[in-house]
Amino acid sequence: QSVLTQPPSVSAAPGQKVTISCSGSSSNIGNNYVSWYQQLPGTAPKLLIYDNNKRPSGIPDRFSGSKSGTSATLGITGLQTGDEADYYCGTWDSSLSAGNAVFGGGTQLTVL
Amino acid sequence: QLQLQESGPGLVKPSETLSLTCTVSGGSISSSSYYWGWIRQPPGKGLEWIGSIYYSGSTYYNPSLKSRVTISVDTSKNQFSLKLSSVTAADTAVYYCARQSVTTNDAFDIWGQGTMVTVSS
């Protein structure tokens, strides 16, 4: 059972837009930055979004992030077949004395 | 370009200690801007943070694994290591090492390719 809740799967057609939600609590998303990771089949995760809505160098602006309260959302526009992957949200949880990195359970994106 | 590479045995017996090393190349592990972490992913499942270390040796661990985990750093070799004791089949996973950056507020911005560790007799 993951600390952060994501839908198991989402799907959309090529060229369309999709959003992936990530729900947490005040001890994690509510008071910390959210990051998003893309994991293509058989590969390591790759940082897509950090600080809720910033993109590392080389990440296209088709990928966007937002946060409101204790939830965060990843948006992907202009879907491509190459976007088929698992997507994970991540943040830090401050409920214990020391910070604890937590992730969502992952969302599988299918581009139909 | 900074790269991370995990290494270690792919098969560990139950009750024994899992030991992995992450070698950092193309940059220094001793930079004050980074922490270095271990994350694992059981087959078909999600990501689980194990713990992280600063070049000075300061560590913090996932509370659920803390009693079994030791992460250490060897700055002379530009490496950091993971030891997980008393392993069971539930510890079977792909183990990743990754960098946390101050500039990304501790998001994991660079990852190793991962190494599969199977716990079995």
Asked if B44 reaches chain A (Cβ–Cβ under 8 Å), the answer is no
Residue B84, C-beta contacts closer than 8 angstroms, at least 6 positions apart:
B17, B18, B50, B65, B68, B69, B91
Nearest to A44 among B52, B62, B111 (CB): B111
Give the separation between CA A40 and CA A81, rounded to whole angstroms.
Answer: 11
Q: Which residues of A touch B110 (CB under 8 A)?
A: 47
Report pLDDT for B102.
84
User: Is it the case that residue A76 has pLDDT exceeding 80?
Assistant: yes
Tell me which of A2-6, A66-70, A106-110, B109-113 is least confident.
A2-6
**Residue B38 · residue B112 · CB < 8 Å:** no
Report pLDDT for B92.
98
- What percent of chain A is predicted at pLDDT more than 70? 97
Residues A33-73: tens digit of each pLDDT: 999 999 999 999 999 999 999 999 999 999 999 999 999 99
Q: Name residue B110's amino acid.
A: I
User: Is it the case that residue A98 has pLDDT exceeding 70?
Assistant: no
User: Is it the case that residue A97 has pLDDT exceeding 80?
Assistant: no
User: Are the beta carbons of A50 and B105 separated by less than 8 Å?
Assistant: yes
Report pLDDT for B70.
98
Report pLDDT for B52.
95
Report pLDDT for A47.
97
User: Are the beta carbons of A90 and B107 separated by less than 8 Å?
Assistant: yes
Each as own residue / partner, the long-range contacts of residues B66-73 (CB below 8 Å, 24 or more positions apart, any chain) are B71/B38, B73/B29, B73/B36
**In 3-state terms, what secondary structure has residue B66?**
helix
Torsion of CA B39, B44, B45, B51, to 10 degrees: -10
User: Are the beta carbons of A50 and B107 separated by less than 8 Å?
Assistant: yes
Residues B26-58: tens digit of each pLDDT: 999 999 999 999 999 999 999 999 999 999 999
B102 or B69, higher pLDDT = B69
